Every structure is written in structure tokens, then in C-alpha cells.
Chain A
């Protein structure tokens, strides 16, 4: 089975920079790391590929400084690692992002399965997976806990709000993984060393993907951030400071006042 796994570069918490004009993330200026939830997606991809003697192609859309993420994926066992990188991709919302990833699936495929993480910790939309499926005209299943291949179909267990569902899905298919479903393997030192001799990361631009210019980046993004604001909270406030014993006493008397303790 040939699998594409989507790995999102996200800013390290605390290094987030936002473009003051478009209010979109400036990924070039931030220190990037792998979206933590995508580790489960990669592990599932690698183990399904092992079971079926298939391949894993790890793909990220991001600026050049996202490369170390793909090197790590290579060291973990991905067969092919591809960075989709072009200034024209900047400012993409989920529709424009999923378009580029879907173009990559067509260009690098054919694939039987595309695996995404549950959600990214920066965008927090959980949209990109099902949207890739929509661009490709494929079915999709989200929040997958288990997946097993049985002749040309995938048997899945997915989580809904209140149920676990076992289902059978025809391929090709897009899935997103539930968190903490497996123990992601560490990078192999041996594979890591080979990357010092030969850089495994392939880089593809908008042109390489034959992406339509009006579908990518800011211009391909129907959602726009108008502005950002700090919510205001007006409340009458009691500010307490001083010796800790006194502060504890004051809190205890508030709790008593409100009948929360007797």
C-alpha cells in the first residue's frame, strides 16, 4: 500500500509571529517543529506500510526552515520526504492548503491512502484532511483509532462523540488519526547519519505541482482575518497580596461567605 502522510510544520510555542497586515502566521520568522499530533499519523503510516510492504511519502507544505521536520520523518523510516515550498503558498487558509496537498498527492502518487493528524496546534481547524479528500473526490474518515488492511479495503475503528464505530472503507481514502493511538517510533540514528551525506528532502514549487495561481496562498483563501482584538472583561476586582497565611485566610473566608465550605 502506498501512503502519503501530511506533516504540518508549526511554530514552537512562544515563537509565534503574526503578519500585522494579513493577521496570518509568519512561519518563516518562527522556529518550526512537527505538529505533535502528526506523530501518530506518521507512526500509523509507517506500520501500515510495513504490514503491506508498501511505501510512505511524507509531505509538508511550509517554508524552507521546515526541512528538519522532514529529515526527522525520513530518519523515522519514511521512504520519500517532500517539502512543498513556494512564496506563493504563504497566507494559505485550509482550502488553499488542502488544494496544494491534493495537487501533491496527484503529482507524487498514485496513493491508496492519505493520513493526516487530528488537528494542528496552531491553526486548530481539523479541516485539512477532509478537504484534501474533497479536492480529490475521495471518501474520508476522521478520528481513526485503529486501521488494518484486508484485501483492498481498510478496516477502521473511529471515535464519534459517544461511540466507537468499526467500519470498512474502500480505497483510496483519506483518514485523520485520533491522538495517543500508538507509540511513535524514535528516529533511527543510522538513517539520520545517511542524511548527512545525502539530503533526502525533495522540494516542489507551485509550478512543479501545476497549481493554479488563483487557488494558492492568500489569493486562494476565501477566509480573511479582518482584525484581531483583546476581549475586554470588566469586573469589580479585589486584589490581594501580602503574607501567604493572610491570603489563605482571606480566600477561606470568601469560600465561607459563599457557602462553599461550612
Chain B
């Protein structure tokens, strides 16, 4: 019995999500009284950082190190993971739902004929049989599903930004093993020719202290764009629900929720949006939630700290006017 997590190398450092996996992996390992192992695949320069993961909660770090592993080649990486899982047969294997995790986990699941639960936001251990219960938002508008896997290792990808990062403890000890890698593991159909950093469009949603978000209730692009004016007055950022991104009122970088960003502002105001679970998942860290909606029964109205029953068509322009008035004084 053991829990494995995947340690992801970004090219210069470990991905933040690896520390989040360590946090949740440690918690699960403690419940199951089982060791927590990190599998690290990367170039030799990642060795030191990977070894340090012991201090962040790992009992064991397995290192697959080679210069040729500096490039993420899907076929090579998945061959290494697959081979190791067949040999070690852990109970649980977790990946972060990053670009790399989403490329890798399903290749491994398909090859080993395993179940794989996508984008989990929570886990439980079922007391009677120690099964890993995997929690993710479900099809419906306001429901979560508990999912189990009949195959082992029980595999899941974990939504980045949901779990806190594991704390560092300099006194922790553990084992580091370097894996022997046979030459045929490196056979690949892929050759990386060039890599170019993309400037991440920073709309500061993730760091904003105030987020004003809008949904379909804002009726049209014109009214929605008023949110940018409001955000400016409050020194905040603009968020959106998925449907309004699809309607083209605003670009997808503004989306909050399972398919978008996870935010943790001091204040969140939702205008004309229902508060579907898919959206609410992204509000995990919001301190104060305000809802403005004409329907008192909308899920966000029930969830909000301050629920304001109003028509956004009147409320939003008036609010902006008032705030502008205050600024002038």
C-alpha cells in the first residue's frame, strides 16, 4: 500500500501544483498509515529540488533523471510512469490537472486499463474498505459527485489551486532512489524543435482583492462591459461565467470556475449570475461574497454573505454613478 504523486518539472523549478499534491497526498497517506512517494521525471538539474520534497511531506522520492527528460515528450514520460506503476502497484496515483498532467494521466490510464477521475477538488477515504472517494463537480448545475474506481492504482487528476501548498519541515527525513532507465524507454515519435515562453495574459484575477463578476443576467455585452468601469473604481478585476465567455461578451481568461480560474479575493460581487457549482468551485478562497440577482432563490443568493435582490440593469449603473460621485468629493 502506498500513495504516489507525480512531481512536475517546469524547466526551471517544480510546478506549484506539486506542493499542493503533497499537501493532500500527505493527508491521505496519514489516514491510510501508508508512505507517500513522489515520482519525479526530469533532467539532472531537477535533482536537488526534487530531493527537497521530503521536507514538504514525501517519505520517498523516486528520481527518473536524464538529460533527454528535459523535454516533455508524452510517449517517453508515460512509458516511464506506466512501467513504474506496474512494478510498484501503489493504491493511489495523483497528477495535477496541468497541461502535462492532462497529457500524461490519460495515456497511463489507457495503457494500464485504469479508471481516471478528472479535475478532482476533494478526496475522502471510505472507512469500510479504504477506497479513495474522488469528488468533482457533476453534470448538473449544483451538484458534486463522489466517484470511486474499481481498478488500482486509483488514479485522479487534481485541479490546481484548490489545495494549499504543503508546509516545509526541515526535520523531515525520507528515502531518495534514482531509477535505472533502460535505453528503449527513450524511443519517441516526438521531437521538440523549439520552445517559446508565452506571456501569460495577466488580468490579475487570481491576485485581485476585489473581483466583480457577471453572468447571463447582464443581458448583453454593453451592460457587461460596465463591470470594467466598476472594477476600475474598486481597483479590482473582472470575472465571468462560462456562458458569457462563450457568448463573446468577454474573453475566456476572465472565466471563474472549474473550467476557469480559482480566485481568493477579499470581496467578490456576482451580478446576474446564478452561482452554479461549476462557477462556485472557483470562489473557494473568497472572504465576502455579495450577490446581486433578481431571483432570491438563485444558488448564489443562498450562498452569499450579502444577498441583494435587485435588477442588475438598474443596480449596476447606479452603483457606478454613486462610486464616481464619491471619488469626486
Say yes or no: is B1 at the interface (Cβ < 8 Å to chain A): no
One of B198, B259, B277 near A164 (C-beta < 8 A)? B198
Residues of A within 8 A of B318 (CB): 244-245, 248
In the assembled complex, how far is the CB of residue B300 from the closest CB belonging to chain A, in whole angstroms? Answer: 10
One of A133, A238, A245 near B305 (C-beta < 8 A)? A238
In the assembled complex, how far is the CB of residue A204 from the closest CB belonging to chain B, in whole angstroms? Answer: 21
Q: A139-B188, A222-B150, A228-B140 are in contact. Are A255 and B305 (CB under 8 A)?
A: no
Q: Is B267's CB under 8 angstroms from A260's CB?
A: yes
Distance of A211 Cα from B15 Cα, bound (Å): 40
In the assembled complex, how far is the CB of residue B114 from the closest CB belonging to chain A, in whole angstroms? Answer: 6
One of A95, A162, A244, A250 near B197 (C-beta < 8 A)? A162
Distance of A238 Cα from B113 Cα, bound (Å): 51
Interface size on A, residues (CB 8 A): 79
Residues of B within 8 A of A230 (CB): 142-144
Residues of B within 8 A of A25 (CB): 139
Residues of A within 8 A of B110 (CB): 95, 98, 130-135
In the assembled complex, how far is the CB of residue A121 from the closest CB belonging to chain B, in whole angstroms? Answer: 8
Q: Is A240's CB under 8 angstroms from B150's CB?
A: no
Q: Is B305's CB under 8 angstroms from A127's CB?
A: no
Say yes or no: is A159 at the interface (Cβ < 8 Å to chain B): yes
One of B114, B252, B310 near A241 (C-beta < 8 A)? B310
Interface residues of B in 270-329 (CB under 8 A from A): 277, 280, 288-290, 296, 301-311, 314-315, 318-319, 322-323, 326
Q: Mark B146-160, 1 if CB is under 8 A from A, else 0.
A: 111111000000000
Q: Is A261's CB under 8 angstroms from B326's CB?
A: yes
Q: Is B139's CB under 8 angstroms from A18's CB?
A: yes
Count chain A CB atoms within 10 A of each CB in B74, B142, B200 and give the residue with the most. B74
Residues of A within 8 A of B119 (CB): 124-125
One of A139, A162, A229 near B144 (C-beta < 8 A)? A229
Say yes or no: is A58 at the interface (Cβ < 8 Å to chain B): no
Q: Is B143's CB under 8 angstroms from A124's CB?
A: no
Distance of A221 Cα from B306 Cα, bound (Å): 43
Say yes or no: is B4 at the interface (Cβ < 8 Å to chain A): no
Interface residues of A in 214-257 (CB under 8 A from B): 221-231, 233, 235-241, 244-245, 247-252, 254-255
Q: Is A168's CB under 8 angstroms from B309's CB?
A: no
Q: Is B266's CB under 8 angstroms from A260's CB?
A: yes
Q: Is B106's CB under 8 angstroms from A94's CB?
A: yes
In the complex, the chain B residue whose C-beta lies closest to that of A240 is B308
One of A160, A227, A247 near B99 (C-beta < 8 A)? A160
Say yes or no: is B37 at the interface (Cβ < 8 Å to chain A): no
Q: A125-B118, A223-B148, A226-B147 are in contact. Are A241 and B309 (CB under 8 A)?
A: yes
Residues of A within 8 A of B309 (CB): 239-241, 247
Q: Mark B175-206, 1 if CB is under 8 A from A, else 0.
A: 00000000000001111111111101000000
In the assembled complex, how far is the CB of residue B305 from the closest CB belonging to chain A, in whole angstroms? Answer: 5
Interface size on B, residues (CB 8 A): 88
Q: Is B143's CB under 8 angstroms from A169's CB?
A: no
Residues of B within 8 A of A233 (CB): 302-303
Residues of B within 8 A of A128 (CB): 106
Distance of A167 Cα from B138 Cα, bound (Å): 35
Residues of A within 8 A of B114 (CB): 95, 222
Residues of A within 8 A of B117 (CB): 223
Q: Mark B208-250, 1 if CB is under 8 A from A, else 0.
A: 0110000000000000000000000110000000010010000
Q: Is B326's CB under 8 angstroms from A252's CB?
A: yes
Distance of A140 Cα from B115 Cα, bound (Å): 19
Say yes or no: is A87 at the interface (Cβ < 8 Å to chain B): no
Residues of A within 8 A of B253 (CB): none
Q: Is A225's CB under 8 angstroms from B147's CB?
A: yes
Q: Is B322's CB under 8 angstroms from A143's CB?
A: no
In the complex, the chain B residue whose C-beta lies closest to that of A126 is B102
Q: Is B194's CB under 8 angstroms from A237's CB?
A: no
Distance of A245 Cα from B318 Cα, bound (Å): 8
Residues of A within 8 A of B27 (CB): none
Q: A95-B109, A131-B109 are in contact. Are A166 and B193 (CB under 8 A)?
A: yes
Say yes or no: is B2 at the interface (Cβ < 8 Å to chain A): no
Q: Is A238's CB under 8 angstroms from B190's CB?
A: no
Residues of A within 8 A of B142 (CB): 230-231
Distance of A160 Cα from B192 Cα, bound (Å): 12
Q: Is A139's CB under 8 angstroms from B195's CB?
A: no
Distance of A231 Cα from B283 Cα, bound (Å): 13
Distance of A164 Cα from B258 Cα, bound (Å): 23
Q: Is A224's CB under 8 angstroms from B315's CB?
A: no
One of A23, A129, A244, A250 near B145 (C-beta < 8 A)? A23
Say yes or no: is A163 at the interface (Cβ < 8 Å to chain B): yes
Say yes or no: is A50 at the interface (Cβ < 8 Å to chain B): no
Count chain A CB atoms within 10 A of each CB in B115, B196, B309 and give the residue with the most. B115
Distance of A13 Cα from B258 Cα, bound (Å): 16
Residues of B within 8 A of A169 (CB): 189-191
A to B CB contacts below 8 Å, 23 in the list: A36-B246, A95-B110, A127-B109, A139-B188, A140-B74, A140-B103, A140-B107, A161-B99, A164-B196, A167-B190, A170-B190, A222-B114, A223-B147, A224-B147, A226-B145, A228-B144, A233-B302, A235-B303, A238-B306, A239-B309, A241-B309, A244-B314, A252-B322
- 8 A-B pairs closest in CB distance: A134-B110, A222-B115, A131-B110, A125-B118, A130-B106, A223-B115, A127-B106, A241-B309
User: 5 extra interchain contacts, Cβ-Cβ under 8 A, other than A16-B139, A225-B147?
Assistant: A125-B116, A133-B110, A134-B110, A159-B99, A231-B142
